[in-house]
Amino acid sequence: MNMTADTFQRSCEHWSDSGRAEMEAFYELARVDYRYLAEAYSWTNWFNQRRDSALRLADIACGSGKFPEALLEFAGLDRLDDLNVRYDLLDPSEFSVREARQVLRAPFEAGEEFVCTLQDWKYAAGAYDIAWATHALYCVPAEELPVGLERMFRALQPSGLGFVAQGLRDGHYVAFYDVFRETFQAGGGTPYSDGSQVELALRELGAAVKSRVLNYTTVVPAKRKALLESYLQRCAFDDTVSLERMLTTEPLASYLAASYRQDRDEYHFRQRVGLSLFAHSDAGLTLRDREDEFTA
Ligand SMILES: C[S@@+](CC[C@H](N)C(=O)[O-])C[C@H]1O[C@@H](n2cnc3c(N)ncnc32)[C@H](O)[C@@H]1O
């Protein structure tokens, strides 16, 4: 795949049928990212409180649907199968839309499909009860986040809820790509945007926002070299750089050496993920049940 292409274009090349094997290797490690998101908020209670009406949901940058899969498996949403949630999918990759559609089951019902970027979305203003983008907006350049997030925000009904989960600059996903670009692209190319930039853009739009940080570690046994290589290549959307080169070219070599735990013969990648709930007013962020606080 083309290493000279910039971040968004390489993302599109990897979110494709030819990128499937690499994607599957990546999710051997990254599937749990979505379990943490499914367990980070009282999703069941939120949906339960709206069960008297049909709901419309937008999954922005839907990828292969790991978040709805985790909600069904770990958050108990599968038990709300008498709910009716029309689930719209948006992604510039037709492959992603196709993959995500296949995981949908009750209470989610496949709805409209938008094969486009968030920035180009011809959204229906005020149409959605809920819209989320989970580990999804890294390839939206920081300067385009305000335009993209405004679309998500305006697409919400007055009582609607938005949710974005995205790695922070000092967590592995974003930090690794910063060092990778410094090492192999002389610092050029478009950096991933991060969760703080998302939060700031939401606040500047005038949204009511509630944020927290999720901390956890992705562990890769050092002996599993092929897995480690595919995982890191996927983190950078660049399969032209071998693990060997990553381990021996500075400054990435030092980043990887610092992540290596000799006592366990494992790589430990520290993840820090910014979670932001947003709405048109503070009331839109409040669940009736006090146990449902969205806290760290
Ligand atoms: C890691 S996946 C998202 C995972 C997904 N939320 C899930 O539940 O599995 C990232 C997705 O973002 C999409 N993407 C990249 N740039 C985008 C943009 N500007 N607007 C919308 N989607 C974008 C990619 O095509 C890819 O499918």
Q: 24: which residues sit within 8 A by CB, 6+ positions away?
A: none
Q: Which atom of ligand 1 is nearest to the CA of 139?
A: 16
Q: SS3 sequence, 91-153?
A: CCCHHHHHHHHHHCCCCEEEEEEECCCHHHCCCCCCCEEEEEEECCCCCCCHHHHHHHHHHHH
Q: Say which CATH number the domain at 138 has.
A: 3.40.50.150
Asked whether residue 1 is domain-assigned, the answer is no
Ligand 1, closest atom to CA 59?
6
Is residue 184 included in any domain, yes or no? no
Residue nearest to atom 25 of ligand 1 (CA): 93
pTM of the model: 0.96
Structural domain range at position 34: 7-168+190-216+273-292
Domain for residue 176, yes or no? Answer: no
DSSP string for residues in 207-250: -EEEEEEEEEEEEEETT-HHHHHHHHHHHHT-TTS-HHHHHHST
Total domains present in the chain: 1
Ligand 1 contacts CB of residue 274 (under 6 A): no
Q: From the CB of 193, is ligand 1 less than 6 Å away? A: no
Indicate whether 31 belongs to any domain: yes
- Nearest-angstrom CA–CA distance, 127 and 24: 34
Pocket test for ligand 1, best of 35, 62, 149, 163 (most atoms within 8 A of CB): 62
- Check pocket membership of 61 for ligand 1, CB cut-off 6 A: yes
How far apart are the CA of 285 and the centre of ligand 1, in A? 25
3-state DSSP assignment of residue 88: strand
Does any domain span residue 245? no
pLDDT tens across the length of the chain (296 residues): 555 689 999 999 999 999 999 899 899 999 999 999 999 999 999 999 998 889 999 999 999 999 999 999 999 999 998 899 999 999 999 999 999 999 999 999 999 999 999 999 999 999 999 999 999 999 999 999 999 999 999 999 999 999 999 999 999 999 999 999 999 999 999 999 999 999 999 999 999 999 999 999 999 999 999 999 999 999 999 999 999 999 999 999 999 999 999 999 999 999 999 999 999 999 999 887 655 567 55
Residue 232 lies in a domain: no
Which is it for the CA torsion 101, 234, 36, 144, positive or negative?
A: negative
Sign for the CA dihedral angle at 224, 225, 230, 235 comes to: positive
